[in-house]
Amino acid sequence: MNKKILLSALFSFALCFTACDDYLDVHPATGFTEAEVFSSESEVQSALAGVYTLMLTDDAYSNRLAFVFNPNTDVEMAAVNTTAVNVNGSDIACYEPKPYWTTLNSTWNTMYKIINNANDVIAGIEGSDLYKTASKTEPSKITQMYGEAKTIRAMIYLDMIRIWGDVIFRTKSSTGDEDFRVGVTDRNKILEFLIDDLKSVEPLMQYASVVEYGTERATRSFNQGLIGLLALTRGGWTLRPDSDPSSIGHMVRGENHELYYDIAIQYLGKVINEGQHDLKLSYRDFWITQNKLVTPDNDDVMFSLPLLKSVSGEYGYAIGIPIVEGSHNYGSASGSLNLAGTYLFSFDSKDLRRDITCAPYSYDATLKQVIRLDLAKLAVGKWSKLYGDPQGSTSQKGTGVNYSWMRFADVLLMYAEAVNERFGPRQDAQEALKRVRRRAFSPADWATKVDSYVSSKSNPDLFFQAIMDERAWELGGESKRKFDLARWNKYSEVIYNQYNKFVNWGKVANGAYVPGVDNVPGSVYWKEIPNPDANNPSKTILDIKGIDPVLQAKPAGYTETVFATKWYALNNDTQAYEPNNDVKWSFRGFINFNNASSVSPTAPLRYLCPYPAKVISDHRGAIQNYYGFNY
């Protein structure tokens, strides 16, 4: 069962470890000496809770890292219908973020506050008698907390690297009197340090089944999984700057990548072989339990940020099925994070994940389903306020639904990927992929949808494409696609293809012939039917047709909602048929209506964010923006 960390009780204590606005100035007067703070296990845990407290703010994992920093992909998608710069500079979705966007600066500072607090805890534990006298051969509470602080620090640095590239690297707490003219450290050097650092503490950490609060703390299995992800990131591709700051840059693979794939195989293999986690719950039941604030310690979740009900958390609100506030007791939900409309049609019709991941509807003020499906108006169905207990008629965010940062299914797919990269689709890689697909299909379909499907991926290229597809279907709405595409060096290709898919689907839906493009859903059709849920017999739901199979004519008794047909239509101003504005500009920083004919699927795509303008000025010339962020 779920056991929330007692952050509310520890909050006043944790404030003593909260840094002020500038991340370099991190030692406010606390009233506590280091010896007092780290003299008992309970006091160390309280200090560690201060690290978690900062992670749960809007500038970190309660909001920004959960969904705000999402560029558009073939999975997560936000429509952009103009070339105008957003007044807040928040054009991350279309690959045109601005250095002056204040959220970039506040998130940068918050991430470094977390790092500095972790550094404080690490230093305090190292200097404590508790740690000095603890066994260095058997895990204990104090060695677990020591490893926990280092694991959290590594997680924060990884996310910063995946957002900004090279970043400032500190493993000692700042005192506020350092030289501000400090530059960034090469991301590969940081990743190499973190991998070795986590490997050193892994044997002395404890499993979630032993640790109080379970997967809401960074435990041994999560440490192992994180080593694997760090290694895949180090061995993968990344955007590097050219000498000309105005250039987009170029993609480079990390040197000696084979070594890091071997490390990934070793540590992801440990997670699998040690058997602390599994895929026990069905896919549907897993997500319903998440919405009900329940997280088993021995199932899919490996690390889950412990968001607090009525305080933090936007899963079910900004990320989930939209709900209009009404007389019901569930409050509203904005459903700000959406999925690409084409993503719904990528699933096998028998894939049980499709209908829990993709919700082509919202709820009105009476909780009646309303059709909601367009280029970027497909709700993430994994989260819904209706799955949990009512939180009040005027409730909004602060759902308390945890942020599952790493799942066992993710580990299985990373392991399969790493093995395939080094040795091809050998048996253990196939079995890891099969374990994920077994949960996705009914046992009656395993022979064809699991065994035959995986066996058909008989060479490394076919198997890698299967991994790409499986990660999209398994992890949709969880904001991982952007990171996967980058380290695979597939970002440009996927976005190029996605833009042209929207265009071509629109053309075919309007009667044009496009080679290789057919069976396009020009419309979907729906009608209200009684809810089969015995708990809500008075509510109607939508029966939606035209998803699989695609229909070319409206069934009797159904209402039509135009889908792909509207993506390519007559422009009344120009009297020419062309893509609509959502298609034209949603990827505008890479491919758009004006440059589509000259863009190559291998051209570099600027997926990284610029350093915040204030960071540039504060560091007095030691840091500068590249990738064309020269404004």
Question: What is the DSSP secondary-structure string of 117-140?
Answer: HHHHHHHHHHTSHHHHTS-SSS--
Alpha carbon distances (Å) from 274 to 139, 405, 543, 565: 16, 20, 44, 51
Tokens of 376: 């970027």
Beta-carbon neighbour count of residue 541 at 10 Å? Answer: 16
User: CA 551 to CA 547: how far, in whole Å?
Assistant: 8
552-567 tens-digit pLDDT: 899 999 999 999 999 9
The DSSP symbol for 152 reads H
The confidence score (pLDDT) of residue 13 equals 40
Average pLDDT, the chain: 92
Q: Place 174 in a pLDDT band, splitting at 50, 70 and 90.
A: confident
Residue 8 has pLDDT above 50, yes or no: no
Task: Kindly state the percentage of the chain with pLDDT values over 90.
Answer: 85
Mean pLDDT of the region 258-266: 98
Beta-carbon neighbour count of residue 469 at 10 Å? Answer: 14
Q: Please, which residues bridge with residue 524 across strands? A: 561
SS3 content of the chain, % helix, strand, coil (to 5): 40, 10, 45
Whether the CB-CB separation of 231 and 613 falls below 8 Å is answered with: no
User: CA 319 to CA 129: how far, in whole Å?
Assistant: 45
The DSSP symbol for 358 reads E
Residue 15 has pLDDT above 90, yes or no: no
Tokens of 422: 């080094």
The confidence score (pLDDT) of residue 26 equals 36
Whether the CB-CB separation of 557 and 563 falls below 8 Å is answered with: no
Mean pLDDT of the region 13-22: 39
The confidence score (pLDDT) of residue 11 equals 43
Greatest pairwise CA separation for the chain in angstroms: 80
597-618 tens-digit pLDDT: 999 999 999 999 999 999 999 8
The confidence score (pLDDT) of residue 535 equals 65
Distance of CA 386 to the CA centre of its chain: 23
Residue 354 has pLDDT above 60, yes or no: yes
User: CA 166 to CA 182: how far, in whole Å?
Assistant: 13
The confidence score (pLDDT) of residue 538 equals 61
User: CA 490 to CA 484: how far, in whole Å?
Assistant: 8
Mean pLDDT of the region 474-498: 98
If we measure between CA atoms, which residue out of 109, 104, 121 comes closest to residue 218?
121
Q: Place 539 in a pLDDT band, splitting at 50, 70 and 90.
A: confident
Mean pLDDT of the region 159-168: 98
In the chain the first and final C-alpha atoms are separated, in Å, by 50
- For the entire predicted model, the pTM comes to 0.94
Tokens of 195: 């991998």
User: CA 312 to CA 377: how far, in whole Å?
Assistant: 25
Distance of CA 461 to the CA centre of its chain: 25
User: CA 125 to CA 44: how far, in whole Å?
Assistant: 8
The confidence score (pLDDT) of residue 573 equals 84
**CA atoms within 13 A of residue 454's CA, in its CB half-sphere:** 25
229-251 tens-digit pLDDT: 999 999 999 999 999 999 999 99
